[in-house]
Amino acid sequence: MRGSAAKKRRNNMRIVDLSHYFDNDMPVYPGIPRPLFKDIATLEENGYGMSEYRFINHTGTHIDAPSHHVPGASLDDIPLERLVTDAVVLNFTEHERGAITKAEIEPFLERIKPGDIVLINSGGYRYWGTDKYWNGWCYPDAEASQALLERKISAIGFDGPSSDPVETTTYPLHRIWLGAGCLIIENLTNLDQLPERTLLVVAPLKVRASNGSPVRVLALID
């Protein structure tokens, strides 16, 4: 019976990939070196395929550990239960691009449970690969961030490049989130395909003492 129930659940499940592709022409945060993906052996010429990948760990869809900006946990310190958990999607697609205030975040707070991953859907992912991507998303300001942290969330996710405006040099919002032990997921996509609440799987590379990692982020929707 257990196997039948599990198979039925899998057959009824829809999986939405919230990660962008990695490639040589992908957008990178200003100042980050470009990635490199190249074949060093091919099936046709060598009888096997092998490739070389070079990229900074905060490239593309990725997760920040507290140790990215403050003395704190690295990704290998984070319990897996914080990476496979419920996510709640907050819809800010009609919001002006830029900061979200505490007053604007307050109507959403009662939906958020301890341990949730909060995803800010601002529609910013639609501009991936264009100049507008770098200012075409929304993020909670300092007071709104504190209000979300009081809900004891596991992580905050963005369909834009950062939890701070791109022009910052001090990253104050990163320090608020990471200083509280909250993980940050950046450069998400397809948030418009999610219900208000869903199960999320966030899978970073298993690297010791990692301050961040590319992630495959999957929403499992019954």
pLDDT band for 1, please (50, 70, 90 cuts). Answer: very low
Residues written for the chain = 222
Sketch out the chain's domains with CATH numbers. Answer: 13-22+56-221 (3.50.30.50)
Question: What is the per-residue pLDDT across 146-183, written as a single tens digit (0 to 9) for each?
Answer: 999 999 999 999 999 999 999 999 999 999 999 999 99
d(CA 121, CA 116): 15
The structure tokens listed for 173 are: 């919002």
The pTM of the full predicted model, rounded to 2 decimals, is 0.94
How far apart are the C-alpha atoms of 15 and 46, rounded to whole Å? 36
Average pLDDT in the chain: 95
Strands 14-17, 62-64: pairing is: unpaired
Percent of the chain with pLDDT over 70: 95
- For the stretch 118-155, pLDDT in tens is 999 999 999 999 999 999 999 999 999 999 999 999 99
pLDDT band at 10 (very low <50, low <70, confident <90, very high): low
**pLDDT-derived band at 5, boundaries 50, 70, 90:** very low
